[in-house]
Amino acid sequence: MAVISFLEEHRTWVLTGESCTYALRLDEDDVPTHVHWGPPLPEADVVELMESTLPWWDGFNDPNEGLGELAADGGTRYWTPALQVRFADGTRALEWRYADHDVTDGHLRLFFEDRHYPLRITLHYRLRGAVLERWTELGADTDVEVVRADSATWALPVFEDYRLSHVTGRWAAETQLHRSPVPHGETVFGSRRGITSHHANPWVMVDDGTATEGHGEVYGIALAWSGSWRLTTTRSSTGRLTVSGGFGQDGVVHRVGPGRPLTTPVAAGLYTDGGFGAASRAWHAYVLAHVLPHPDELRPVLYNSWEATGFDVTEAGQRALAERAAALGVELFVMDDGWFGARTGDHAGLGDWQVNRERFPDGLKPLVDAVHGLGMRFGIWVEPEMVNPDSDLHRAHPDWVLHHPHRRRSELRRQLVLNFARPDVAAWAHEWLDRLVGSQGIDFLKWDMNRPFSEAGWPGERDQDRLWVEHTRAVYALLDRLRADHPGLRIEACAGGGGRIDLGVLTRTDQVWTSDNTDALDRLRIQHGYGQVYPARAMSAWVTDNPNFVTARSVPLEFRFHVAMAGVLGLGGDIVHWPEDDLTLARELVALYKDIRPVVQHGALYRLRPPVDDGVTALQYVHGDRVVVFAYRQAAHFNAPERPLRLAGLDPAHRYLDPDSGVTHSGAVLLARGLPPGLPTGDFASRVVRLERVKI
């Protein structure tokens, strides 16, 4: 249970959650100032920490620099600013004045004003389990330009050294994990693309360079935002490190005024002393408990038609795929691109969301009914934020796209971006989506977004920069409204693969498409980086055909299944043409996945051996009395002997039964000495081991 205390004599607030204490105070100038973030501390120890702070500096080196809770620009504050404002008369410096505070149900609000100008700042703190959520609200009675408005500044303890963990990538190679020393000065991670992006993801973790998977202090910060964003680490010569982050990018100005407040997205912070593994498990628990809209559900096994048919979509072809999918045990059938307008390729029709009557003479309802009759739910692909120039929508409303006067409209994938910040565009999107879902009996939307912003202008609008924030918020609002109007609807977020994965989109979707790259070998590393913060419960993973359409690599079907079964299992191959042996194996593995699904989707993840080389990698899920181990040999070299996998998260006082072999194992032995993987010989060998705790 979260506890928030106010030490009035010291003007200090202490927040204590499941595994950490966070404390801040007001300094003599009313500036909200950091005191502690880390292991749980009693209030008396927090007071002792304040007494050790030295209010001295020599004019060049301020020992307290960087301790601002929201580092503001102005005066003698030279740290990376989290808040920069410009008033109507050109004044830029902010001077804090404390007004009041409020505590309600684990939520602390601190109210401030500028000492002269009518600017109001509210700092929010909310404890949810092991995670502290922070965000900022700005309001003003006259127009104020906000040059930068981060959600929070996070000050870390002074360590001997710092190491940074984060992910980078590109299309079809998302979420590649990197760990490296934190450079001195400012290091910026971010996206200027209007979406989260394939190239970086809005989270970082920091340790002192000695943390391992199972030991050591780790601090993590993650943004709940799906538009442009940035996280800045600042490391000074005095040893202090901060992480500041929020939405926005250089050159984009927010305008706050009467009736136009600004609220930043949540920046979530997490501390653990249990290493990277404990950090990931805490993030996963937070997402399941406080982020995902239907966390207790088991995500269904799905089939998606894209790789089987491409744009060559017909009712007969989709029925054939659906019948085969149902026979394999699939529970959700998803028809991808090509069902609407003149969409026979990527060159035309996007934006014209009417059923193509040449392909579906009687509309979609006969196919939807047939899929439902096979015992499956029906899903459909949409890309509401995009339009082809060759479309009826664009010909009727060329002003609806992002554009600048006298500048070309850059096309990527032969598409332009619709400006969802416009109320008429958002209303149009809601009308056809609401009609599609409601009239056709749609159970599931695969919501795609296949290109970043360009020429992000809004001719005729006085405050054009607001589209960078309002577009994303309009997408959020539309998703929220569809969910409210259609409680049974489930949604998958996609952006050309993993271009929109973050805590913001997960708040209103049920799963995310991790990458367009379904190559099982590459997916091991993509899924490894994804799982540092985000849970398997939301990680969509498909089994597709050989050779893989991205890498041209051929991998055994069992290996492909076993990799995809570590998340939300899907099938995406041309299953109508699979040989009978493959179909038989697929039915068996789908059945196996359904058995282990509660453990994978709701269990605690332990990374036993990461995919850092081309040898054996393994991971484990624990849920209640059940354990599932996935082991993969990527490549075999020099006839290397098989090393046992030391399991984790078990009860050493109990025994564990392998129901497939009938053998029981001591929990203490599995923890101390490990489990032989028992992998078949050769490359691309894999195995799934099920264990059940034996009642004593």
Any catalytic annotation for residue 516? yes
User: Which residues, at least 6 apart from 8, have a Cβ–Cβ distance to it below 8 Å?
Assistant: none
For residue 22, the surrounding DSSP H or E stretch is strand 21-26
Q: Which of 336, 510, 516, 519 is catalytic?
A: 516
The token duo for 183 is 């450079």
Strands (E), 76-143: 83-86, 96-104, 107-114, 119-128, 131-140
Q: Crossing angle of helices 467-485/423-440, nearest 10°?
A: 20
Under DSSP, the state recorded for 355 is B
Residue 180 CB neighbour total at 10 angstroms: 10
Contact 597, 581 (CB under 8 A): no
- Active-site pick, 448, 465, 502, 510: 448
Q: How far apart are CA 241 and CA 67, in angstroms?
A: 10
3-state secondary structure of 104: strand
According to DSSP, the β-strands at 254-256 and 185-191 are unpaired
Is there a catalytic annotation at residue 273? no
Neighbours of 438 (CB within 10 A): 13
Report d(CA 309, CA 313) in Å as an integer.
Answer: 6
Q: 627 CB contacts (<8 Å, ≥6 apart)?
A: 599, 620, 621, 647, 649, 650, 656, 690, 691, 692, 693
- In DSSP notation, 362-423 reads T-SHHHHHHHHHTT-EEEEEE-TTEE-SSSHHHHH-GGGB---TTS----BTTBEEB-TTSH
Q: Which residues are catalytic?
A: 448, 516
